[in-house]
Amino acid sequence: MRILIRESSVLLLLTAVTTGCVGSPSVTKQTQALPVSTEQPTKEAVLTSTPTPAGKTTENSTPEATIATNATRCETSQLSVRRVSEDAGVGNVALTYAFTNNTSSPCNLYGYPGLALLDEKGQPLEGIKVVRSEGTYFSSKQPRQKVTLAPGKQASFQIAYNHISSPQEECPMSSKIEITPPNAYQHFTLTEQIKPCTGKVRVTPVQSVDTQP
């Protein structure tokens, strides 16, 4: 009888111990504890994510000075024109005109300006031939050259003709003239009386003007 009681007591004791271990708070903490993460950002990853400085992208841009030196063809709207001098002798007349760059940027002129003589109705004067000439009675021959007009600078050219008439003929006379800058499409209209008795008017190519007239 005593042997049975002891075996029952041992069995109950073992059962109590086992039940106590399963419900222990230390075991619960171990099963719910989260593993410590070992993933850390590497140095290389931080460097590649660093943004490029904003100023870096402008280092290879075209300098403004380079753009400013690329002068383009002068448009009529950039210029003005006026007569600056007159020469006469031995029946010959030469009128010197100058184009002025009125803008803040340089531009180029090259070659001969266009010229047309008009009557009082604004129509082309009949019987007049405009001749391109490198020189006149009052100027030596000057070949065509590219003239770069800086802001406020000038380029000049001459209009030359003979105004001596015979008693038997009446020379045509213009009321206005049209002047077109070289390689341009629009023109200037000026009040100008030109009397080319031979029917020919010579025009010279534009030349640079070192000093203002």
CB 109 within 8 A of CB 153: no
Q: How many helices (H) and strands (E) does the chain have?
A: 4, 12
C-alpha pair distances (Å), 138 with each of 8, 68, 161: 146, 37, 11
Close Cβ partners of 107 (under 8 Å, ≥ 6 residues apart) = 71, 72, 73, 74, 75, 78, 101, 148, 149
- Res 70: pLDDT: 67
For the chain, which residues make up each domain, given as ranges? 72-208
**Helices assigned H by DSSP within 148-187:** none
- Ordered mean pLDDT values, 10 residues apiece, the chain (213 residues): 48 44 38 40 33 36 40 95 92 95 97 96 93 85 92 96 82 95 96 94 91 42
CATH 2.60.40 fits 72-208, yes or no: yes
